Amino acid sequence: MVRRIGISGNYAVAYAVKMADVDMIAAYPITPQTTIVEKLSEFVANGELDASYMNVESEHSAISACVGASLTGARVFTATSSQGLALMHEILFMASALRTPIVMANVNRALSAPLNIWNDHSDAMAQRDAGWIQLWVRSAQEAFDATVESFKIAEETRLPVMVNMDGFIVSHMYEPVELPDEEEIRKFIPSRPLENRVSTKRAHAVGVVGPPEYYYEMKYQAIDAIEESRPKIKEIDNDFNSRFGKSYSEIDTYGIEEADAALILMGSIFGSAKEVANALRRDGKNVGVISLRVFRPFPVQELRRAIEGIRAVGVVDRATSPGGSGNPLYNEVATALYDMPERPVIQGFVAGLGGRDIREDDFRLMYDATQKAAREGAGRCIYVGLRE
């Protein structure tokens, strides 16, 4: 039976992890992620979850412990934000190359300096080349569903998965969330021994030196694995849908069928963007929105299909790449669309850094500028709401 309860995005993740029956959790508290691992420690202490809970001295140790535990075949979880994710940086690359199916919730928060605990996407964008699958959610329900799916995606691809959730806006927002029976979740992601794991029963060395004769081939395995994950992510979502009646595609669109201009964005601002698009459509402006749920592997074909017929797109970055040819999401979109025979004009925006709200007027400005780009061509990146 499905239970409908009021919980925060963070608690939704904790419930999903508990239902996934993880074997080990290694965590270090950091705002705004803390209540995920706090709730999980409660589940373990109460005997509701039979898992080993490791309090470590840093995020670097948290992810290192997860890699080690995962190599033995354990189902592991960790959660972090911002500086914590940055501290994990070097180990993130090992997690993907050693093919450890770790699931991590990253509650998106700005990177220092100045010190800031609020939401933007700079933490995850700085780790985009670490070889992790990245999912982006927009509500507590999505956070629950994506976390459940992530364990299956991770174990079938033997790649680590990062579930990204906007700090405070999703992580601390209490919403009604539908929780399926724990038994049903466990049928969806049964615990099973992973092959090729470290064991005392046979000789097996991992994390070995990859000299120039081998590094390239070893690295390519993880590149191939993330490419091959595309159909698997779809299949797993279909399976999830048949069991729980919810489905999430790589990209989500709103009002783009007749649109001449559309915004492309990620995370919780999809809701506000839809509201404003709706208001503008009532005034006869043909605008729409595209939201990415999967950022790695980047949904190139899905985006190209969605974009057909649209004359201009505006890419909303909530992170920057100082001195770059564009900001992270802009660069991905521009590269994905570049060799389309009739590609749209692409206007870049930066908005909502360090928790700055992106308000109705900001969206109106971005839709207007994108429509203007359709007529006159795109200009330089617009830093929305920046005071001179």
Partner 1 sequence: MKCVKTTLKGWREIPEGGAITEPGSSVNFDVTAWRTSSPVIDQEKCTKCGMCFLYCPDSAIEIDETGNYRVNISYCKGCGICAKGCAPKAITMVKEGH
Q: What does each C-alpha distance from 309 to 253, 262, 278, 313 come to in angstroms?
A: 14, 11, 19, 11
- Pick from 152, 81, 94, 87: which is nearest to 120 by CA? 81
Of 42, 55, 112, 220, the one binding partner 1 (CB under 8 A) is 220
Q: Which stretch binds partner 1 (CB under 8 A): 11-19, 140-148, 163-171, 206-214?
A: 206-214
Tell me the sheet residues that pair with 8: 174
Residues facing 53 on adjacent strands: 25
Least distance in Å: CB of 313 to partner 1? 36
Does residue number 199 form part of the binding site for partner 1 (CB under 8 A)?
no
Kindly tell me which residue out of 2, 45, 115, 218 binds partner 1, with binding defined by CB under 8 A: 218
Q: Which amino acid appears at position 351 of this protein? A: A
Both tokens of 51, joined, read: 């898992």
Shortest distance, position 213 Cβ to partner 1, whole Å:
6
Q: Which of 6, 176, 210, 309 binds partner 1 (CB under 8 A)?
A: 210
Structural element, H or E, at residue 332: helix 328-337
Using the rule CB under 8 A, which residue among 7, 13, 20, 97 binds partner 1? 97
The reply on whether position 98 binds partner 1 by CB under 8 A is yes
Comparing C-alpha atoms, which of 367, 372, 371 is closest to residue 289?
367
Among 58, 196, 247, 278, which residue interacts with partner 1 (rule: CB under 8 A)? 196
Neighbouring residues of 285: CB distance < 8 A, sequence distance ≥ 6: 367, 371
User: Given phi > 0 = left and psi -120 to 50 = alpha, else beta, which region is 37?
Assistant: alpha
Terminal-to-terminal C-alpha distance of the chain: 55
Task: Single out the residue of 217, 283, 339, 388 in contact with partner 1 (rule: CB under 8 A).
Answer: 217
Residue 160 vs 326, nearer CB to partner 1: 160
Tell me, rounded to whole angstroms, the distance of Cα 132 from its chain centroid.
10
Residue 213 sits in the site that holds partner 1 (CB under 8 A): yes
Q: Does 212 bind partner 1 (CB under 8 A)?
A: no
Rounded-to-integer distance, Cα 310 and Cα 29, Å: 44
Smallest distance from partner 1 to CB 206, Å: 5
CB burial of 41-57 (b: ≥16 within 10 Å; e: otherwise) equals: bebbeeeebebebbebe
Q: Supply the minimum distance, in Å, between the C-beta of residue 94 and partner 1.
A: 10
Q: Is 99 in the site for partner 1 (CB under 8 A)?
A: yes
CA 57 – CA 30 distance, rounded (Å):
12
CB of 377 to partner 1, least distance (A): 43
Site for partner 1 in 335-374 (CB under 8 A): none
**121 scored as a contact of partner 1 (CB under 8 A):** no
Q: Which is nearer to partner 1, 217 or 283 (CB)?
A: 217
Under rule CB under 8 A, residue 214 binds partner 1: yes
Of 2-10, 201-209, 333-341, 366-374, the window that binds partner 1 (rule: CB under 8 A) is 201-209
Contact flag: residue 186 with partner 1 (CB under 8 A)? no
Nearer to partner 1, 83 or 229 (CB): 229
Q: Judged by CB under 8 A, does residue 221 bind partner 1? A: yes
SS3 call for 178: strand
Helix (H, G, I), strand (E, B), or coil: what is residue 211?
A: coil
The stretch near partner 1 (CB under 8 A) out of 21-29, 199-207, 229-237, 333-341 is 199-207
The single-letter DSSP state of residue 190 is: -
The residues that touch partner 1, with contacts defined as CB under 8 A, are: 97-100, 158, 196, 202-206, 208, 210, 213-214, 217-218, 220-221, 224
